[in-house]
Amino acid sequence: MRTIYSAALLAVALLSLAACRPTESEAQRRQEANTPAGKLGQAAHKAAVEVDKAGRAVGRQLDKAAHDAREGWKEDARRDTGKK
Helix, strand or coil for residue 34? coil
User: pLDDT: is 38 or 83 the higher one?
Assistant: 38
pLDDT digits (tens, 9 = 90+) for 27-55: 888 888 889 888 999 999 999 999 999 99
CB 33 within 8 A of CB 39: yes
Cα separation of 65 and 73, whole Å? 12
Asked if residue 9 has pLDDT above 90, the reply is no
Sorting pLDDT into bands at 50, 70 and 90, what band is 7? confident
Q: What is the mean pLDDT of the chain?
A: 85
The pTM of the full predicted model, rounded to 2 decimals, is 0.50
